[in-house]
C-alpha cells in the first residue's frame, strides 16, 4: 500500500525531503565496509578471520540498505519486508563480532559449544522474525511501523548487541594482559574500532527506535549517527592490515587499499549536493588522507627497519657459525694438547717410580723425597689433564658411555676401600654403610660411575682436615632411584659457593685455606657425566666449617 503523504523514490533510494545526513551516513560507510571486507577476503579467502570480516561487512551493508528503504520508500509491503530484517541482521552482526574477536585473539576456530551458544542466542530473533512479535502493522500516515514494533523482540536483539559489547571487551581485556607488546598494540586498535562501532551502532539505534516509538522525537534521524561507527571500525581494520598485517595482506596491496579508500571518500563529492554534506565529505577526505600518509610513512619506516634487521640477522648468523667453529677448534686444541702432555707425563711418572723403587741403583734419602714430590706432582698433573680432556669431550659431544648393569653398592664400597689408605694418612676415617631395599643395580657406564664416586669421595678427603667421611648407599624403590650420600666434616661451603660449585673452574672461596690444588673442573665433569647417565648430583652444606654433603642420584635398574 502507498503512503499517501510521501513520494515514490527515484533510482531505488533517492527522494527529496529526507535528512541530508541519510545518504552520507549510509552509502560511504557501506562502501568502506564492503571495500575492506572484500579486499581482505580476496587477498586471503582461506582465512577464517577474513571471511568473518566480510560477513560483518555484508550484514552491515544489508542493514544500511534496508534502513535506506525504510527511509525513502513509500510502499508499506516493501518497507515492512525491509524493516522485519533489521532485527535478524543486527543480531547477526552482534554475534559475528564476538566470533570475529575470538578468532582474532586465538587464531583458530571456536569450539562447537560456543557455536551452539551463538545459535541459541540467535534462534529467537530468527524464529520470531516473521511473526507479529517482530512487526504487526504499518502506519500509512507517518509511513513507518514504530507503533507496530514488538517491544520485547526489539529489546532482545538490542540486548544481544549489549552482550556483544560486554563479551568482546572482556575477551580483549583478558587477552591484553597475556599478550606480548606487539599483539597488545593490535588488541588496542581492534578494541577501539570494534567497541566504538558496536556502541554507536547498538545504543544509538536502540535509542532512536525507542524514543521515536514513544513519540519523544518526531522521527528516527538520530539512528543515522549509528552508522558512522562502521567507518571507525574499518579505519582500524585498515590500520591493522597495513601496520600489523593482521589479515595477511601484502604491503603493496595494503597501500593500494589506502589509495582506494581516499578515492572513495573523494568520490562522494559527485553526489553530495548540500553544503553540510560537502563540508563533512571534505573533513573526512582530509582525515582519511592524513591517516593514510601517516600509515604509509610508518610502513616505509618499518620496511627499512626490517631490511636493517635482516642484514644484522645475517651478520649474526655468520658470527654464530664462526663462534661455533672457534669453539670446535678450541676443543680440538685442548684435546690434542692434553694428549701431547699426557704421553711424556706417563714417562715421567713411570721413571720416577722406577727410580724410587731402586731399579736404577740406590738413591739417597733426600733424592727419594724429591722423587716422591715428582711423582705426586705428575699425578696431580695427570688428573688435571684428564679433567681438561673430559671437559673437551663433554663440550664437543664426544664422550662415549658404555651402558651395562652393575651393583652400585659393591662399586661404592670398593672405591671406599681404595681411598681409605690415603684418608688414613691424613688421620681421617671413611665409613661405608648401605640401607637398600633393592639389589642396588643400575644401568650405567661403570667406569664413569667409579670416576664420579672417586672424584666426590676424594674431594671430601681433600677438603676435610679432621674427622670422618661417611658414605651411605640408600634407595627409594617407589621412585626407582638409588642415592649415594658422601658426608664429611670438612670446610663446608657458604650459600654463594653452593650456587657455583658445579660450574667450570669454580672453587669454594675457602678451598685455598686447606692448601689443596685443583683445576675446579672435577665437580663439573662429575655432574655432566651423571646427567648424561640420567642421574644427577646435589650439594648441601650448613655453611663454612660445618661439613658438606654430596648426593649422587641414579635411576635403579629394577
| Closest to 133 measured CA to CA, from 120, 151, 157 | 151
Question: What are 115's three cell numbers?
Answer: 557455536
Nearer to another protein, 7 or 376 (CB): 7
Show Cβ contacts of residue 326 under 8 Å, excluding neighbours closer than 6 positions: none
Phi-psi region for residue 467, left (φ > 0), alpha (ψ -120 to 50) or beta?
left
Which one, 2 or 436, has the nearer CB to another protein? Answer: 2
Query: Which H or E run contains 385?
Result: helix 365-396
Q: Residue 216 CB, nearest distance to another protein (Å)?
A: 10
Can you tell me which of 97, 129, 171, 461 binds another protein, judged by CB under 8 A? 129
**Rounded least distance, CB 88 to another protein, Å:** 5
Grid cell listed for 211: 524514543
Nearer to another protein, 129 or 554 (CB): 129
Please report how close the Cβ of residue 294 comes to another protein at its closest, in angstroms. 37
CA quadruple 296, 297, 298, 301: dihedral, nearest 10: 120
Beta-sheet strand order (sheet of 536-541)? 429-435, 468-476, 481-488, 548-555, 536-541
State yes or no: residue 496 binds another protein (CB under 8 A): no
Examine residue 127 and tell whether it contacts another protein (CB under 8 A): yes
Confirm or reject binding of residue 81 to another protein (CB under 8 A).
yes
- Contact string 90-109 vs another protein (x = CB under 8 A): --x-----------------
293 contacts another protein (rule: CB under 8 A): no
78 near another protein (CB under 8 A): yes
Q: Which one among 12, 42, 111, 136 touches another protein, defined by CB under 8 A?
A: 136
**Taking the mean position of all CA atoms in its chain, how far away is CA 165?**
27
CA nearest to 24, candidates 289, 290, 267: 267
Does position 135 interact with another protein (CB under 8 A)? The reply is: yes
CA separation for the pair 124, 344 (Å, rounded): 94
Annotate 472-511 with three-state secondary structure: EEEEECCCCEEEEEEEECCCCCCHHHHHHCCCCCCCCCCH
Which of 8, 42, 114, 123 is in the footprint of another protein by CB under 8 A? 123
Give the CA distances from residue 478 to residues 555, 556, 558, in Å, rounded to whole numbers and listed in that order: 11, 10, 11
The answer to the question of residue 138 lying near another protein (CB under 8 A) is: yes
Angle (nearest 5°) at CA 469 between 467 and 470: 125
Window contacting another protein (CB under 8 A); options: 125-133, 297-305, 310-318, 393-401: 125-133
Smallest separation (angstroms) from another protein to the CB of 69: 12
- Per rule CB under 8 A, is residue 141 in the interface with another protein? yes
**With 0-12 CB in 10 A as exposed, 13-18 as middle and 19+ as buried, what is 291?**
middle
Nearer to another protein, 55 or 222 (CB): 55
Residue 34: CB atoms within 10 Å: 17
Stretch binding another protein (CB under 8 A), from 136-144, 252-260, 392-400, 430-438:
136-144
Contact positions with another protein (CB under 8 A) in 4-33: 4
Q: How far apart (Å, rounded) are the C-alpha atoms in residues 448 and 270?
A: 88
DSSP-H helix ranges across 200-274: 205-213, 228-244, 251-267
Q: How far is the CB of 131 from another protein (least distance, A)?
A: 9
Q: Does 43 bind another protein (CB under 8 A)?
A: no
Burial 433-442 (b: 16+ CB within 10 A, else e): ebeeeebbeb
435 contacts another protein (rule: CB under 8 A): no
The pattern of x and - marking residues 145 through 164 that bind another protein according to CB under 8 A reads --xx----------------
In the complex with another protein, the residue whose CB is nearer, 140 or 291, is 140
Residue from 28, 37, 88, 238 in contact with another protein (CB under 8 A): 88
Minimum CB separation of residue 217 from another protein in Å reads 12
Contact range with another protein by CB under 8 A, out of 135-143, 202-210, 494-502, 505-513: 135-143
Distance from C-alpha of 452 to C-alpha of 156, rounded to nearest angstrom: 75
Pairing of strands 429-435, 441-445: unpaired
Contacts (Cβ under 8 Å, ≥6 apart) of 115: none
List the one residue out of 521, 530, 528, 443 whose CA is nearest residue 484.
530
- Report the residue from 60, 118, 432, 550 that binds another protein according to the rule CB under 8 A: 118
Pair 321, 290: CB distance under 8 Å: no
Q: Does 75 bind another protein (CB under 8 A)?
A: yes
Candidates 15-23, 120-128, 255-263, 444-452: pick the segment binding another protein (CB under 8 A). 120-128
Q: Closer CB to another protein, residue 124 or residue 467? A: 124
Per-residue contact flags (x/-) with another protein for residues 184 to 223, judged by CB under 8 A: -------------------------------x--------
Q: Which of 7, 139, 151, 435 binds another protein (CB under 8 A)?
A: 139
Q: How far is the CB of 306 from another protein (least distance, A)?
A: 37
145 vs 236 by CB, closer to another protein = 145
- Asked if 411 and 434 touch (Cβ cutoff 8 Å), the reply is no
Among 126, 263, 273, 516, the residue binding another protein under the rule CB under 8 A is 126
Count interface residues toward another protein (CB under 8 A). Answer: 32
Pattern 227-256, another protein, x by CB under 8 A: ------------------------------
Residues making contact with another protein (CB under 8 A): 1-2, 4, 75-78, 80-81, 84-85, 88, 92, 115, 118-119, 122-123, 126-127, 129-130, 135-141, 147-148, 215
Amino acid at each position: 500500500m502507498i503512503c499517501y503523504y510521501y513520494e515514490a523514490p527515484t533510482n531505488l533510494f533517492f527522494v527529496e525531503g529526507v535528512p541530508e545526513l541519510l545518504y552520507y551516513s549510509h552509502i560511504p560507510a557501506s562502501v568502506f565496509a564492503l571495500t575492506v571486507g572484500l579486499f581482505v577476503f580476496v587477498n586471503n579467502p582461506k582465512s577464517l578471520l577474513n571471511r568473518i570480516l566480510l560477513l560483518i561487512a555484508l550484514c552491515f551493508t544489508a542493514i544500511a540498505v534496508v534502513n535506506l528503504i525504510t527511509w525513502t520508500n513509500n510502499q508499506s509491503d516493501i518497507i515492512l519486508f525491509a524493516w522485519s530484517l533489521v532485527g535478524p541482521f543486527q543480531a547477526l552482526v552482534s554475534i559475528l563480532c564476538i566470533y570475529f574477536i575470538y578468532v582474532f585473539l586465538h587464531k583458530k576456530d571456536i569450539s562447537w559449544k560456543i557455536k551452539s551458544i551463538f545459535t541459541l542466542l540467535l534462534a529467537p530473533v530468527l524464529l520470531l522474525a516473521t511473526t507479529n512479535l517482530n512487526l504487526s502493522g504499518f502506519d500509512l500516515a507517518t509511513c513507518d511501523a514504530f507503533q507496530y514494533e514488538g517491544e520485547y523482540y526489539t529489546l532482545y536483539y538490542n540486548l544481544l548487541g549489549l552482550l556483544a559489547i560486554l563479551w568482546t571487551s572482556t575477551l580483549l581485556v583478558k587477552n591484553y594482559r597475556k599478550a606480548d607488546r606487539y599483539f597488545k598494540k593490535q588488541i588496542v586498535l581492534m578494541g577501539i574500532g570494534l567497541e566504538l562501532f558496536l556502541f554507536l551502532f547498538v545504543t544509538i539505534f536502540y535509542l532512536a527506535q525507542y524514543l521515536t516509538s514513544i513519540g519523544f522525537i518526531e522521527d528516527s534521524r538520530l539512528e543515522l549517527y549509528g552508522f558512522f561507527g562502521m567507518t571507525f571500525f574499518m579505519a582500524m581494520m585498515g590500520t591493522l592490515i597495513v601496520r600489523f598485517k593482521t589479515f595477511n595482506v601484502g604491503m603493496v596491496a595494503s597501500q593500494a587499499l589506502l589509495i582506494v579508500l581516499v578515492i572513495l571518500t573523494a568520490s562522494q563529492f559527485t553526489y553530495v549536493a548540500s553544503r553540510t554534506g560537502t563540508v563533512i565529505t571534505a573533513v573526512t577526505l582530509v582525515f582519511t588522507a592524513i591517516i593514510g600518509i601517516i600509515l604509509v610513512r610508518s610502513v616505509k619506516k618499518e620496511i627499512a627497519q626490517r631490511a636493517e634487521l635482516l642484514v644484522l640477522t645475517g651478520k649474526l648468523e655468520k658470527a654464530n657459525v664462526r663462534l661455533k667453529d672457534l669453539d670446535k677448534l678450541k676443543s680440538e686444541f685442548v684435546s690434542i694438547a692434553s694428549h701431547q702432555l699426557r704421553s711424556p707425563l706417563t714417562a715421567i711418572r713411570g721413571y720416577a717410580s722406577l727410580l724410587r723403587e731402586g731399579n736404577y741403583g740406590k738413591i739417597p734419602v733426600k733424592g727419594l723425597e724429591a722423587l716422591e714430590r715428582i711423582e705426586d706432582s705428575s699425578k696431580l698433573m695427570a688428573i688435571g689433564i684428564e679433567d681438561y680432556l673430559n671437559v673437551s669431550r663433554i663440550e664437543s659431544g664426544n664422550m662415549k658411555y658404555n651402558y651395562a648393569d652393575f651393583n652400585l653398592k659393591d662399586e661404592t664400597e670398593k672405591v671406599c676401600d681404595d681411598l681409605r689408605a690415603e684418608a688414613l694418612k691424613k688421620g681421617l676415617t671413611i665409613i661405608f654403610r648401605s640401607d637398600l631395599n633393592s639389589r642396588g643395580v643400575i644401568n650405567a657406564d661403570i667406569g664413569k660411575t667409579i670416576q664420579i664416586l672417586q672424584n666426590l669421595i676424594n674431594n671430601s678427603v681433600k677438603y676435610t682436615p679432621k674427622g670422618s667421611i661417611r658414605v651411605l648407599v640408600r634407595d627409594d624403590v617407589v621412585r626407582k632411584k638409588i642415592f649415594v650420600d658422601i658426608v664429611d666434616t670438612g670446610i663446608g661451603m657458604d650459600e654463594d659457593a653452593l650456587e657455583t660449585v658445579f660450574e667450570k673452574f669454580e672453587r669454594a672461596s675457602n678451598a685455598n685455606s686447606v692448601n689443596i690444588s685443583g683445576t675446579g673442573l672435577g665437580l663439573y665433569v662429575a655432574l655432566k657425566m651423571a646427567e648424561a647417565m640420567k642421574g644427577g648430583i646435589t650439594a648441601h652444606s650448613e655453611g663454612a666449617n660445618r661439613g658438606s654433603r654430596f648426593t649422587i642420584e641414579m635411576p635403579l635398574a629394577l
